[in-house]
Amino acid sequence: MSEYLPGLAGVPATKSNISDIDGEKGILAYRGYPIEQLARHSSFEETCLLLLDGRLPTGAELDLFDQQLRENRRVKYHIRGLMKNLPESGHPMGMLQTAVASLGMFYPAKECLIGGDACEDLNYIHNTTVKIIARMATMVAMWEHIRNGYDPVTPRPDLSYAENFLYMFTGRKPDPMLARILDVCLILHAEHTINASTFSVLVNGSTLANPYSVIAAAIGALSGPLHGGANQRVVGMLKEIGTPDRAEEYVDRKLSNKEVIWGMGHREYQTKDPRATILQKLVDELVEARGGDVNPMFEVAKQVEIICEDRLAEKGVYANVDFYSGILYSEMGIPADQFTAIFAIARSAGWLAHWREQLADNRIFRPTQVYIGEPMRDYVPIAQR
């Protein structure tokens, strides 16, 4: 009998050279490059190309990829019409999954995804990747206006990926510092080995499903409360606490009731999530740049982390990437229910890198099971039951 491990915990599902985690040391690397160096020196556009191609691009290669992203930000008016007919109360993740899946109707898969062999049409793979990454941000920004009864803001090709998203979202030229912070947030969320949503990419991609359906499936997995959405709950928690002096009582009460402290702990890390460390520094830089005139949630968050570290460090529970990202998004004027959609925008780069890797050496996933049902038995006619 095969050993059953709930959730496939610790079971290798694939071989990959895209990213790696050392949970004990708190190390995350994309293609061998430490996340700290990428956050400091790279851009989301360059990080995307690194994840997709496996190496840092030349200046000419990056310029071409950046130009392709800028040229593919617009979506067909049919997509806008579809979005206008979705319920205004619908969650942004539901909209995004629907809209991305619908893109496959307008950009159908080519023959390389119909046969049983690996897809070798690299132009198709690259062009599809560009279209998805470019339009994810566009559709999330469009939804913010459409659900409030307004026409969406037209994308600007003269702005970077992060700048254009903030411009389309708010209708205003973005604060350069906030645009850079968003750029770093996108880098930090772009990839994180084989999590639930990425595994769904592998499974769906292995069937040679249309790539838009593959990414839509990943968005569905990310929308679950056990995967995405923790940063939204962190903001709700900080608002509930209200002031730094109430943090200790709140944390102790939650711990005594064995309740979750949102944004604390990660399945992969036994120390502080390196992405949380980077985001905390960005918070400090923003506070300093604005002379302390920022959202009071920042001070509440710092106090909560201090208390949690005192209570939980010996158990290997520290702040994760969700703890500070939501506060930063709030400072950008982004509603809490859009946080996970931004996560999906960033993670589309990692998802598509894994999709490409899967296609290069494809075999359909067909795991087995441990049967615990009834033994063989005879059918009983309904009159005799």
% of the chain at pLDDT higher than 90: 78
Give the C-alpha separation, 199 to 351, whole Å. 9
User: What span, in angstroms and rounded, lies between the C-alpha atoms of 352 and 348?
Assistant: 6
Q: Which of 66, 175, 192, 266 is the catalytic position?
A: 266
Q: Which bin fits 116, alpha (ψ -120 to 50), beta or left (φ > 0)?
A: alpha
Clarify whether 266 is annotated catalytic. Answer: yes
Rounded mean pLDDT, 253-270? 92
pLDDT for res 111: 53
Max avg pLDDT among 59-73, 97-111, 117-131, 267-281: 59-73
Complete DSSP assignment for 172-224:
SPPPHHHHHHHHHHHHHHS--SS-HHHHHHHHHHHTT--HHHHHHHHHHHHTS
How sure is the predictor about 361, in pLDDT bands with cuts at 50, 70 and 90? confident
Would you say residue 122 has pLDDT above 80? Answer: no
Q: How high is the pLDDT of residue 1? A: 45
List the one residue out of 230, 297, 299, 300 whose CA is nearest residue 260: 230
| pLDDT given at position 225 | 82
CA distances to 149, 264, 293, 345 from 48, rounded to whole Å, are: 33, 28, 34, 11
Query: Average pLDDT of 7-34?
Result: 94
**Residue listed under structure tokens 């292995």:** 206
Mean pLDDT, residues 10-38 = 95
**With pLDDT > 70 as the criterion, what percentage of the chain qualifies?**
96
Sheet strands side by side (includes 19-22): 19-22, 27-30, 33-34
Contacts of 196 (CB under 8 A, 6+ apart): 221, 222, 224, 226, 227
Distances (CA, A) of 239 to 258, 306, 333: 20, 17, 16
pLDDT at 132: 97
pLDDT digits (tens, 9 = 90+) for 197-214: 999 999 999 998 889 999
The answer to whether residue 51 scores a pLDDT higher than 60 is yes
Q: What is the DSSP code string of 59-101? A: HHHHHHHHHHHHHT----HHHHHHHHTS-TTS-HHHHHHHHHH
Report residue 112's pLDDT band, with 50, 70 and 90 as the boundaries: low
Where does the chain show beta strands of DSSP type E? 19-22, 27-30, 33-34
* pLDDT number for residue 113: 62
CA distance 48 to 63: 13
pLDDT band at 3 (very low <50, low <70, confident <90, very high): confident
Q: Taking a C-beta distance cutoff of 8 angstroms, is the pair 205, 233 a contact?
A: no
Predicted TM-score (pTM) of this structure: 0.94
- What are the pLDDT digits (tens) for 60-104? 999 999 999 999 999 999 999 999 999 999 999 999 999 999 998
The answer, yes or no, to whether residue 255 has pLDDT greater than 80, is yes
The one-character DSSP state at 319 is B
Question: Which listed residue (175, 273, 322, 354) is catalytic?
Answer: 322
Q: What is the pLDDT of residues 334-359, one digit of tens each?
A: 999 999 999 999 999 999 999 999 98
Q: Which residue(s) pair with 30 in the sheet?
A: 19, 33
Query: Which of 21-35, 116-130, 133-147, 188-202 shows the lowest per-residue confidence on average (mean pLDDT)?
Result: 116-130
How many Å apart are CA 323 and CA 307, to the nearest integer?
Answer: 14
Task: Compute CA distances 359 → 116, 117, 126, 209, whole Å.
Answer: 11, 9, 13, 11
Q: What rounded mean pLDDT belongs to the chain? A: 93
CA atoms of 295 and 330, how far apart (whole Å): 8
- pLDDT band for position 109 (50/70/90)? low
**CA-to-CA distance for 382 and 375, rounded, in angstroms?**
20
The pLDDT tens digits of the residues spanning 134-174 come to 999 999 999 999 999 999 999 999 999 999 999 999 999 99
**For residue 257, which phi and psi values (nearest 5 degrees)?**
-90, 5
What domains appear along the chain, each with residue ranges and CATH number? Answer: 15-225+352-360 (1.10.580.10), 230-331 (1.10.230.10)
Q: Is 65 exposed, middle or buried (0-12, 13-18, 19+ CB in 10 A)?
A: buried
Q: How many CA atoms lie within 13 A of 59 on its CB side?
A: 0
The answer to whether residues 137 and 155 touch, using CB atoms and an 8 Å cutoff, is no
CB of 235 closer than 8 Å to CB of 330:
yes
**Residue 119 clears pLDDT 80, i.e. is over it:** no
Give the model's pLDDT for residue 9: 83
Nearest Cα residue to 168 out of 56, 73, 47: 73
pLDDT at 251 over 90: yes
